[in-house]
Structure 1
Amino acid sequence: MARLVMILLGVDYLRARWRGLLWLGCASVLLGLVVFVDALDNAIYFPMTPFAVVLLLEGLATLVVARSGIGGQRTLRQVKGVSFCLAALLILAGHHHGHFVLSMIFGTLFLADGLLQIVSARVVRFRTWRLAVAVGVFEILVAIFFYQPYPTHYVGTVPYCLGLGLIFGGWNLLLLASRLRRLDHNPGMDPADASPAPAPAYTAHALHAAGGAPELTLWDGPPGPGEHALTVHVWTPVGSARGEARRQPLVDRYIAAVDRDGVISTGHAALESPEGIYISLYPAEEIDRSPHEFTRILRATRENDVAGKFQPDYETEARAWCPSTVQVRIRNYDPERLRRFWEAYRQDTTYNLTYRNCSSTVSHALEAALEGASARVWRQARGWRPLWRLLATPELWVAAQIRKRAKTMAWTPGLTLDYARALSMLADPRPSGWASMTRMALGQMRRQRQDWREAAHTAQGADAGAGEGAAAGTVAGAANAGSARPRGND
């Protein structure tokens, strides 16, 4: 997650605050050690009940404001709220059963993640696959630690998790803060893809045109059809399959889809900017994707490198194939950084199905375009407010997990789609849930009062009309009576 924070806040913002990050890392490591060591015996001083109450309140508040979200944001808030409430209820249940169930959940999550990382690293064989295997083994050891009852019979599950999280988070901050003073590029990006020098922030007219508060620009939704925005095109495996795909949950969403003829479709991804940049890497010759060859070409090794080509524009690619299945549009990006990335990246047309494919190309380009995006949202990025708001955004944690999984496996169109959606919420931040709920409540109150006024005015008009009709009827009746009276002789 720390690398993603580096990308979104940028070097300019973080270099001036490296001392604060250093002290924050030290404090996080020390606090994590204290919490973890405290949980190793039966005399636990960690305030379990107050922590559970706060967790429960946060979960309930998240569920209350979840309906103010848009699309995936609403689902993410609902998942977060349910998870927090479940964890809090298990902690409050206490005794043996609540702590046991919670420990089994954490252990299973660590075990599944570790096994998935080891298997994917062994299959893909990317450059640092041995390090990924070592990390996977460590996660399995942590899972075993949660499964077995020693030394506190599962009572210390929550302090263990908090302590480990604080220790690893603080360690990452220490490593990054120690390098911030000497950085010439963003450490969150690959050195080959990073820009050699910081570019001017893209805030002059774009953010002022968007409106908003003097310090912070917020958007209520995605960009409109004619709005100036970066577009990520994704052809999902199912949507781009030549024949009818056999549905396989998760597999056809994130890896590949297989049609009834046995042909594998992995989907595609491309990036388009209003400045005329179109990034779409494709093999120069179609790769054999039959099932018996697919496992071999998954390896990120040099023998699987083939010649690639960059498509000229979206219209040409859509006519030759089909329109993209999903589009993600982002307002707040830096076209100069994207241009410099594209000029350097296009010099190499090598294509590899695993480590240099269409999805990895789009993801790297998106990171280059969004470097410093969260700091650019604030007109004057001073103080720690951008960092705290970024850390408090749930989409950051989702994007960090997607990026980690893609780095240890491979970038796929499905992962790129989810990554682009999460980054769009960070680059173009939406109002907080409570702010949205407040606006919704006030708007509903105004609409109700307006409806009441209109109803009262309508009723008053109806009463007035009825009164006028009655008066007219009386006059008409009198006239008729007068006309019916017999006339005398003159």
Structure 2
Amino acid sequence: MVRLVMILLGVDYLRTRWRTLQLIGWVSLLLGVVVFVDALDNALYFPITPFALLLLLEGLATLAVAWTGMGGQRTLRYVKGFAFCCAAALILAGHHHGNFILSMIFGTLFLADGLLQIVSARVVRYRTWRFAMIGGGVEIALAVFFYQPYPTHYVGTVPYCLGLGLIFGGWNMILLSTRVRRMASNPAVVGEQATDGANAAASAVHAASTAHATNTANTASATSTADPTHPAASRRPPNLEWDGPPGADETALTIHVWTPVGTAKSEARRQPIVDRYIAAVDRNGVISTGHAALESPEGIYISLYPGVEIDRSPDDFARLLRATRENDVPGVFQPDYPTESKAWCPSTVQVRIRNYDPVRLRRFWDTYREDATYNLTHRNCSSSVSRALEAAIEGASARVWGDLGGWRPFLRVITTPELWVAAQLRKRAATMAWTPGLTLDYARALSMLADPRPSGWVTMARVAVRRMVRSRRQWREEARNAPAVREAAHEVAHSAPSSTTPSATPSQPHD
């Protein structure tokens, strides 16, 4: 999550606030330790009932505004609201059963995540796979801690979780402030090897590309001054929030995704999760893995293919998954989307983002395309698109508010649920491999962060105001037309002929 916050807010924005970030981190870390230690005995000083009520209130409030979201945002809000309400209900239920169920849930989540991280790191063998295995071991240890009843017989489950959340959150804040303090540039732009400025060669490349980007920016600025419709003119977004995705006539960055199911030659066999994130198999046994590409209005198109056919036989499958040099093959970059879609098929899904920086994207592309190496798990089409997307939206959340931002961009980013979703997707992809399915969900989450949407309460208020205005307009029209309606009714009543037919008298029944 630290790296993702750095990408969204930009190093320049965070560097000027590193002292405050570090102070907040230390306060959160110490408070988390206090809460966790307090929960180790049976005498809890933590206000568990008020916390549960706040959790329930937040869950109900989220459910109340969940319908205002769009697509995945709506689903995420419903999931968050139901999760908070269920957790609050279990806490308020109290006694042994509620605490026991919560302990089993948290323990299972830690255990599943730890095992998945260890297995994927052991198979893929990316550069820092040993550290990932250590992290997975820590998660398994936490799972065991939640499973066993010692020392509080599950009474301290909620304070444990809150304390761990404060500890990890504080540590991430301290790590973030420390990194941005001494970092000269964003690792998403320079590359993974230049993290923390440790690689002098990458820094030299960045310095040269910065000079090139400056000239490009000056040229683009002059062009955009002459032509307001030029794409570079939209680098400073005119709005603070958008009600939905970009329209077809808007300038936007486009992420094309060919899903495994959507590119299958015949009807695919439904395999939940597998055919969404890994591969789909059709009736004839043909495997489809999908594809991803990125297209910008400035003419940049990033779509990496293996230059030679990769043998995906089951015997060599485990070896091919390793992100090592022996699995590198020559790759080919496709020229543009019309050529690729004509040779294959149109993309299944498109994600469009308004708030991006074409200069940073060009800088990334000029460096990245010098190496066309393809690796099935480490450097494939999806990883290329994801890295290019991160470079393009660097500083997007800070840039969208311009000079009026202050701490608002930081608070908005860390309180947006899509940040947690994007961080989890990025973690899964970093420990396993980027796939078209992960890239699609990652792009959707980042689009909600780069192009901020109105909060649920703001949307509800807008809907309420629109209905009130519409009702008042309707009432005014009715009041304006009321005299004419009454006069017309009066004329109709006087012009109607009087009836001379005697009314029929109902016959009386005979005795």
Global fold match (TM > 0.5): yes
2:358 matched to which residue of 1? Answer: 335
1:2 matched to which residue of 2? Answer: 2
Kindly indicate whether the alpha-carbon contact (under 8 Å) linking 1:35 and 1:46 is maintained by their aligned counterparts in 2: yes
**2:72 maps to 1:76:** no
Whole-angstrom distance in 2 between the partners of 1:472 and 1:144: 90
Give 1:171 deviation, angstroms: 1.7
2:508 matched to which residue of 1? Answer: none
Q: 1:222 to 1:297 in 2, by over 3 A?
A: same
1:478 matched to which residue of 2? Answer: none
- Deviations 1:394-450 (CA, angstroms, capped at 9, x unpaired): 111110111111100110000000000000000000111111111111112222333
1:206 matched to which residue of 2? Answer: 234
Give 1:299 deviation, angstroms: 1.7
**2:259 maps to 1:236:** yes
1:486 matched to which residue of 2? Answer: none
Whole-angstrom distance in 2 between the partners of 1:78 and 1:293: 42
Match of 1:397 among 394, 402, 420: 420
Kindly indicate whether the alpha-carbon contact (under 8 Å) linking 2:188 and 2:391 is maintained by their aligned counterparts in 1: no
Whole-angstrom distance in 2 between the partners of 1:343 and 1:441: 49
Partner SS state of residue 246, structure 1: coil
Whole-angstrom distance in 2 between the partners of 1:105 and 1:3: 28
Give 1:221 deviation, angstroms: 0.6
Partner SS state of residue 266, structure 2: coil
Q: Please, which moves more after superposition, 191-200 or 159-168?
A: 191-200
Q: Please, which moves more after superposition, 165-174 or 422-431?
A: 165-174
Kindly indicate whether the alpha-carbon contact (under 8 Å) linking 2:320 and 2:327 is maintained by their aligned counterparts in 1: yes
Give 1:124 deviation, angstroms: 1.5
Kindly indicate whether the alpha-carbon contact (under 8 Å) linking 1:406 and 1:415 is maintained by their aligned counterparts in 2: yes
Give 1:173 deviation, angstroms: 2.1
Give 1:347 deviation, angstroms: 0.4
- Deviations 1:158-215 (CA, angstroms, capped at 9, x unpaired): 111111121122222222322323211125664348882677899994277x644xxx
Give 1:463 deviation, angstroms: 3.9
Q: How many aligned residue pairs are there?
A: 469
Kindly indicate whether the alpha-carbon contact (under 8 Å) linking 1:262 and 1:290 is maintained by their aligned counterparts in 2: no
1:196 matched to which residue of 2? Answer: 206
Whole-angstrom distance in 1 between the partners of 2:164 and 2:83: 19
Whole-angstrom distance in 2 between the partners of 1:402 and 1:434: 27
Give 1:462 deviation, angstroms: 4.4
Instruction: Name the amino acid aligned to 2:185.
Output: H
Q: 1:187 to 1:172 in 2, by over 3 A?
A: farther
Partner SS state of residue 308, structure 1: strand
**2:234 maps to 1:224:** no
Q: Please, which moves more after superposition, 189-198 or 406-415?
A: 189-198
Give 1:243 deviation, angstroms: 2.5
Give 1:119 deviation, angstroms: 1.5
Q: 1:188 to 1:338 in 2, by over 3 A?
A: closer
Partner SS state of residue 135, structure 1: helix
Gaps of 5+ in 2: 196-204, 222-230, 498-511
Gaps of 5+ in 1: 475-490
Instruction: Name the amino acid aligned to 2:297.
Output: P
- Deviations 1:125-154 (CA, angstroms, capped at 9, x unpaired): 212112111111111110000000000010
Partner SS state of residue 355, structure 1: coil
**2:456 maps to 1:446:** no
Kindly indicate whether the alpha-carbon contact (under 8 Å) linking 2:28 and 2:166 is maintained by their aligned counterparts in 1: yes
**2:309 maps to 1:286:** yes
Whole-angstrom distance in 1 between the partners of 2:35 and 2:18: 26
Whole-angstrom distance in 2 between the partners of 1:222 and 1:24: 34
Kindly indicate whether the alpha-carbon contact (under 8 Å) linking 1:184 and 1:196 is maintained by their aligned counterparts in 2: no
Cα RMSD, aligned residues only: 2.2
Give 1:81 deviation, angstroms: 0.5
- Deviations 1:343-369 (CA, angstroms, capped at 9, x unpaired): 000000000110100000000000000
Give 1:45 deviation, angstroms: 0.7
Whole-angstrom distance in 2 between the partners of 1:64 and 1:13: 34
Whole-angstrom distance in 2 between the partners of 1:8 and 1:40: 38
Whole-angstrom distance in 2 between the partners of 1:136 and 1:223: 39
Instruction: Give TM-score scaled by structure 1 length.
Output: 0.91
1:21-420 superposed matches below 5 A:
21-187=21-187, 190-192=191-193, 196=206, 205-206=233-234, 211-212=238-239, 217-380=240-403, 382-420=405-443
Q: Please, which moves more after superposition, 445-454 or 384-393?
A: 445-454
